[in-house]
């Protein structure tokens, strides 16, 4: 009779724990699916498939010590779960996929703390934290890594006595032309190194200082190594008369070099290893507070945790339906001394489809300016105003090359306008582009602020209307001529542009 009751209690406890830990996957299945979709589509994040198995293996390796502990729900962790859920809601409203994914994954260790308690969760702290590496994050590092790699390569070539003519992330040497693109940024090496470095540090060292130092090493080494890799590939191509390292083989050389660097890093790190066998194994000593908790309390904690996680998608769906706007978007033209003319360039930005788009070309005296306004409403995946997929020039574009980007402030129509200025080169010559967003009745160039404004508007159930504004002008040698033309155009048309955008928002 006693054994039967004990087995029944264990079954209820096991079901409660399984419910709490599996609930995030079931409730946020669409978010989990978005992670898997990225793992499938990008080799950079394919390692995501092995994160969960490794985490489970690390927990299984501690099964003997875990078996000596009794679950003891920690109710304050429900606040942490609610914070993760609210973070997911804001990310969903602002359509920030990576934050949405981090919030989802963070719910798993938070649920473990709520149901299992602090002692058991602390014993599994690294395996639970390791799950965060499954989130496909790293796109934000691509642009700075490209700049660093280009700077490093050009400096190394010049130090080798080879003359270099650089324009943005592209450069020319006497033997040929080279360009540092996304595949050459080293972000794949960096993410792989961080993942391996964290796991190696946990398994090899017991000192938190040594663990932290090795993880920092795993961040710095691949960045520098990628610069060396790029320099060596250019040198191989240069010395071979552009016969070697100019095709697929240069990617092979890159991974071979990265593997060698990782091997050396781990080999050097092994000299300071702290084997677990170096000291006597620590036995778990139960404390007075570590008493057995009744299965109903554990089950109640699991239900409470599930409720804390489940309310946010329901509320997000309600906000989505309440903020839907079926009205059509209308963008009128501009009326000033600037006269509409035929297109002076074939360039078009590569953005997700918008609800309505306006493309116009204008001329006043000898000045030329073009404007593109893309207005977004009822945004969804594949039709988003702010996305890393929205670019002025797609990678490997055969006609256009983006040669530089910088933030800039312009005094326009008695107000200061912050914008992103990009220079490009193509078949029709040089083009200067000013770019910014219009959201919540105001202009901004900051992607993060734009996302916050978008989330605020949706949270207040005022829709998700927003627009991308791109102003561009041609120039020959001096970009100041293009700046002067765009400045004059905006002085004459900024008020009209704001009125057109605000008019659609009021519908």
CB 427 within 8 A of CB 399: yes
| pLDDT tens digits along 177-220 | 888 877 778 888 889 899 999 999 999 988 889 999 999 999 99
For residue 421, the model assigns a pLDDT of 94
Of 337, 345, 342, the closest CA to residue 400 belongs to 345
Mean pLDDT of 66-72: 85
Q: Residue 465, CB half-sphere, CA atoms under 13 Å: how many?
A: 23
Q: Which of 53-67, 73-87, 100-114, 287-301 has the lowest mean pLDDT?
A: 287-301
Report whether pLDDT(278) > 60. no
pLDDT above 70 covers what percent of the chain? Answer: 90
Mean pLDDT of 63-87: 90
Distances, alpha carbon 325 to alpha carbons 154, 169, 329, 458, in Å: 51, 42, 10, 12
Give the model's confidence band at 6: pLDDT under 50 very low, under 70 low, under 90 confident, else very high. Answer: low
- Residue with the bigger pLDDT between 506 and 76: it is 76
User: What is the DSSP code (8-state) at residue 64?
Assistant: H
For residue 334, the model assigns a pLDDT of 67
Which residue has 């903020």 as its token pair? 323
Alpha helices by DSSP H, listed for 139-242, are 142-159, 187-204, 208-239
Mean pLDDT of 334-363: 89
Mean pLDDT of 116-129: 92
Mean pLDDT of 95-107: 93
| pLDDT tens digits along 313-334 | 999 999 988 888 888 888 876 6
Report whether pLDDT(1) > 70. no
| pLDDT tens digits along 431-463 | 999 999 999 888 999 998 999 999 999 998 888
For residue 247, the model assigns a pLDDT of 57
Helices 29-41 and 2-27, axial angle in degrees (round to 10): 60
Report whether pLDDT(77) > 50. yes
For residue 280, the model assigns a pLDDT of 40
State how far the Cα of 39 lies from the Cα of 49, in Å rounded to an integer. 7
For residue 277, the model assigns a pLDDT of 46
H or E element in which residue 405 lies: strand 401-412
| pLDDT tens digits along 153-171 | 999 999 998 888 887 788 8
Of 327, 329, 328, 331, the closest CA to residue 496 belongs to 331
- Residue with the bigger pLDDT between 278 and 307: it is 307
Mean pLDDT of 419-432: 90
Give the model's confidence band at 287: pLDDT under 50 very low, under 70 low, under 90 confident, else very high. Answer: very low
Report whether pLDDT(249) > 70. no
**Pairing label, strands 429-439, 442-444:** antiparallel
Mean pLDDT of 228-257: 73
State how far the Cα of 375 lies from the Cα of 464, in Å rounded to an integer. 11
H or E element in which residue 327 lies: none
Structure tokens at 373: 């306004």
Report whether pLDDT(419) > 80. yes
State how far the Cα of 160 lies from the Cα of 403, in Å rounded to an integer. 25
Longest CA–CA separation in the chain, Å:
98
Burial class of 494 by CB neighbour count within 10 A (0 to 12, 13 to 18, 19+): middle
Give the model's confidence band at 39: pLDDT under 50 very low, under 70 low, under 90 confident, else very high. Answer: very high
Q: Which of 69-83, 205-219, 329-343 has the lowest mean pLDDT?
A: 329-343
State how far the Cα of 94 lies from the Cα of 449, in Å rounded to an integer. 10
Mean pLDDT computed over every residue of the chain: 86
For residue 253, the model assigns a pLDDT of 66
């Amino acid at each position: 009779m006693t054994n039967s009751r004990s087995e029944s209690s264990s079954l209820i406890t096991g079901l409660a724990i399984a419910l709490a830990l599996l609930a995030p996957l079931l409730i946020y299945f669409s978010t989990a699916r978005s992670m898997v979709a990225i793992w499938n589509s990008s080799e950079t994040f394919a390692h995501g498939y092995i994160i969960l198995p490794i985490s489970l293996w690390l927990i299984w390796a501690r099964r003997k010590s875990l078996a000596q502990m009794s679950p003891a729900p920690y109710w304050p962790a429900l606040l942490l779960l609610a914070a993760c859920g609210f973070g997911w809601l804001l990310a969903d409203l602002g359509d920030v996929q990576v934050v949405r994914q981090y919030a989802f994954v963070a719910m798993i260790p938070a649920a473990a703390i709520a149901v299992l308690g602090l002692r058991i969760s602390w014993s599994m702290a690294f395996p639970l934290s390791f799950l965060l590496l499954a989130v496909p994050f790293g796109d934000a590092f691509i642009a700075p890594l490209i700049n660093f790699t280009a700077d490093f390569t050009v400096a190394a070539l010049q130090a080798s006595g080879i003359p270099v003519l650089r324009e943005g992330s592209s450069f020319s040497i006497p033997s040929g032309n080279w360009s540092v693109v996304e595949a050459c940024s080293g972000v794949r090496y960096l993410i792989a190194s961080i993942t391996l470095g964290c796991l190696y540090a946990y398994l090899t060292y017991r000192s938190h200082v040594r663990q932290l130092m090795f993880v920092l090493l795993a961040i710095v080494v691949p960045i520098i190594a990628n610069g060396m890799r790029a320099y060596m590939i250019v040198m191989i191509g240069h010395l071979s008369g552009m016969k070697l390292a100019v095709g697929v083989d240069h990617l092979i050389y890159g991974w071979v070099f990265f593997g060698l660097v990782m091997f050396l890093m781990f080999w050097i790190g092994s000299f300071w290893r702290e084997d677990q066998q170096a000291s006597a194994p620590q036995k778990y000593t139960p404390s007075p507070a570590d008493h057995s908790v009744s299965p109903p309390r554990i089950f109640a904690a699991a239900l409470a945790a599930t409720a804390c996680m489940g309310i946010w998608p329901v509320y997000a769906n309600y906000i989505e339906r309440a903020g839907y706007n079926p009205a059509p978007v209308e963008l009128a033209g501009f009326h000033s001394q600037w006269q509409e003319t035929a297109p002076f360039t074939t360039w078009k930005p590569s953005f997700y489809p918008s609800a309505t788009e306006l493309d116009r070309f204008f001329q006043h005296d000898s000045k030329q300016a073009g404007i593109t306004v893309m207005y977004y409403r009822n945004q969804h995946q594949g039709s988003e105003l702010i996305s890393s997929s929205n670019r002025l020039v797609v990678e490997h574009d055969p006609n256009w090359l983006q040669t530089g980007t910088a933030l800039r402030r312009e005094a326009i129509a008695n107000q200061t306008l912050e914008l992103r200025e990009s220079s490009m080169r193509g078949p029709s010559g040089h083009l200067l582009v000013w770019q910014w967003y219009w959201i919540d009745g105001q202009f901004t160039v900051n992607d993060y602020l734009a996302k916050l404004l978008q989330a605020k508007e949706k949270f207040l159930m005022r829709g998700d209307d927003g627009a991308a504004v791109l102003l561009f002008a041609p120039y020959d040698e001096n970009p100041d001529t293009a700046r002067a033309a765009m400045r004059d155009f905006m002085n004459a048309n900024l008020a009209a542009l704001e009125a057109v955008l605000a008019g659609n928002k009021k519908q």
